[in-house]
Amino acid sequence: MKLEGRSFIGYTRGKGSDAIPGAGRNPRTGEFLEPSCIAATPEEVESACAMAASAFPVFSSLPGRERALFLRRIASNIESLADEIDARMTMETGLPAGRAQGERGRTCAQLRMFADVIDESSWVDARIDTAQPDRKPLPKPDLRSMWRPLGPVAVFCAGNFPLAFSVAGGDTASALAAGNPVIVNAHIAHPGVAELVGGAVAGAARDCGMPEGVFSLVYGNGFATGQALVRHPSIRAVGFTGSQRGGRALMEIAASRPVPIPVYAEMSSVNPVIILPGAAGERGDAIAEALHGAINLGAGQFCTAPGLILAPGDSALIAALTRRCVETPAAVMLNEGIARAYAAGVERLRTHPEVQTLAEGAEDTSIFAPARAALFATTSAALLADPVLQAEVFGPCALIVRYDALDELTAILTTLAGQLTVTVQAAEADLGTVQGLMEQLAQLAGRVIVNGVPTGVEVCDGMVHGGPFPATSDGRTTSVGPRSILRFCREVCYQNVPDALLPAVLRQEN
């Protein structure tokens, strides 16, 4: 597929206006990548929204099997572009080829998972209460309810997942599965990957006879395009993965509309890891090895990377983790902006009067957007006194909090903001302590882990990838797994509606 750097507005390509500075740049070398990426005009954004609104009544009423065929065709189209996508992703992000292949596989698996969900159709949770006209003292009406799609959804691509949380990622797949047209706001850090996948989605829509406007992809120069999408009256929900600042800005715009809409934003998490004394004594070196791998996986650019480690103050594990950090080679960040933000976060910890620098990894001045692994330490008293120490540093960095008594853990957990994950490393002797903490842990995070690491989000029925604010904007939901489809739906009840007028799954023959 020949890259043009232009938006997909339904089945046509946008003409655009201005080239977007810095879009498509190799973070390892600093090389700008062709072609230039062109921002959509306000008129093109308006056209995409209008077409999505027009497509919604048709698309939402299609049988689940037809939407399932569409999702499977998207997956097949992405696989047919595997070599092009993998090559472009490694250039635009600095991620290794293995990561590109793995993320592509996950993206296609998600699409097929949602296809299976809507093929089977029980997800709509159809409920049928038949009428009892002779009931006394009042007759009971015929009542039937199910989940129905909301309307056009705006999806914002994630910077750290060019495939699995981007153009055809989980938000798009779940919104389309539910019956909602999708307008994707591409991430300028990987515009070529966005265009390749956008072409795969648009081609699938055309081949499957979907109404024009069921999918659009727009490039934006700055924040104006995304803000215009969220403000547009045709947009009925938003999916976002990114910074807390960006997520909150979209939430405020959505809430200030004449008709407010939900924003499902994944934003910020330090994913605390609690190491209990028994575990530290029995297998401290193994825990240090696992944590080092999780902290540095993908240059620490995973939303579930462990950024806060609560460890006994006298534990040898701290020294073991420090040694590994010193030996860590320099990493390539996803783009220059993330590298600058990471450097600022590390400097904030390095210069904090209550923080000790334990170790920093190797430097590599040949990398355009580099990151050195960093490990810091502080006390529980300092963490409790200064909320700044709880802030996420997105990258291969962790802050160890030394504690001397178990009641300090309870105090820390009480003050922490909502998290995607919380992990406990425990030995047999620690299980009583864990039992006493379990309710507090469940209130803190969307996923509670025992004797593992938080990185790795399995796509399956049992997964919850969400958590209380600011991990997400709505801690009642998950952005991974079949249940994520419910974010883009609402329940509708039909009372005394003639059978012929009901949705198929609510009719008497079903």
**For 440-451, what is each residue's pLDDT tens digit?**
999 999 999 999
Pairing, β 397-403 against β 370-371: unpaired
Alpha-carbon gap, residue 153 to 183, rounded angstroms? 6
* CATH class label, 10-21+39-267+472-506: alpha beta
362-397 pLDDT per residue, tens: 999 999 999 999 999 999 999 999 999 999 999 999
The architecture CATH gives domain 273-450: 3-Layer(aba) Sandwich (3.40)
CA neighbor of 175 nearest in space, from 500, 391, 487: 487
What pLDDT sits at residue 192? 97
Alpha-carbon gap, residue 80 to 74, rounded angstroms? 10
Reply yes or no on whether 34 is catalytic. Answer: no
480-492 pLDDT per residue, tens: 999 999 999 999 9
Q: What percent of the chain has pLDDT over 70?
A: 100
Q: Which residues pair with 422 in a beta bridge?
A: 448
What pLDDT sits at residue 275? 97
Helix (H) or strand (E) holding 135: none
How much helix, strand and coil, in percent to the nearest 5, is found in the chain?
A: 45, 20, 40
Active-site choice (49, 108, 157, 303): 303
115-166 pLDDT per residue, tens: 999 999 899 999 999 999 999 999 999 999 999 999 999 999 999 999 999 9
336-346 pLDDT per residue, tens: 999 999 999 99
In the chain, where the domains are located:
10-21+39-267+472-506, 273-450
Number of H helices, E strands in the chain: 14, 19
pLDDT at 22 over 90: no
- Joined tokens for residue 213: 């406007």
Q: What are phi and psi of 192, to 5 degrees?
A: -70, -45
Higher pLDDT, 397 or 21: 397
What pLDDT sits at residue 34? 94
Query: 271: alpha, beta or left, given left = phi > 0 and alpha = psi -120 to 50?
Result: left
What pLDDT sits at residue 303? 95
Active-site choice (266, 325, 397, 489): 266
Mean of pLDDT values over 315-343:
96
What pLDDT sits at residue 314? 85
289-306 pLDDT per residue, tens: 999 999 999 999 999 999
What pLDDT sits at residue 91? 97
Q: Give the Å distances, CA to CA, from 346 to 183, 319, 328, 365, 387.
A: 36, 20, 16, 17, 16
What pLDDT sits at residue 1? 84
155-173 pLDDT per residue, tens: 999 999 999 999 999 999 9
Query: 443: alpha, beta or left, given left = phi > 0 and alpha = psi -120 to 50?
Result: alpha
Mean of pLDDT values over 215-232:
95
Mean pLDDT for the chain overall: 96
* Contacts with 95 (C-beta within 8 Å, 6 or more apart), sequence order: 89, 162, 298, 334
Alpha-carbon gap, residue 218 to 16, rounded angstroms? 9
232-261 pLDDT per residue, tens: 999 999 999 999 999 999 999 999 999 999
CA neighbor of 345 nearest in space, from 396, 383, 269: 396
What pLDDT sits at residue 323? 97
Reply yes or no on whether 303 is catalytic. Answer: yes
* Contacts with 123 (C-beta within 8 Å, 6 or more apart), sequence order: 117, 147, 482, 485, 486
What pLDDT sits at residue 351? 97
What pLDDT sits at residue 21? 84
Alpha-carbon gap, residue 481 to 93, rounded angstroms? 26
Mean of pLDDT values over 40-51:
97
What pLDDT sits at residue 362? 96
pLDDT at 18 over 90: no
Pairing, β 8-9 against β 12-13: antiparallel
Please spell the DSSP secondary structure of 144-159, one letter per residue.
EEEEEE-S-EEEEPPS
pLDDT at 265 over 80: yes
pLDDT at 510 over 80: no
- Joined tokens for residue 299: 């240059």
- Joined tokens for residue 211: 């109404």
Alpha-carbon gap, residue 472 to 469, rounded angstroms? 5
pLDDT at 17 over 90: no
Please spell the DSSP secondary structure of 373-416, one letter per residue.
-EEEEEEHHHHHH-GGGGS---SSEEEEEEESSHHHHHHHHHHP
Mean of pLDDT values over 210-229:
96
Angle between helices 64-80 and 97-120 (to 10 degrees): 170
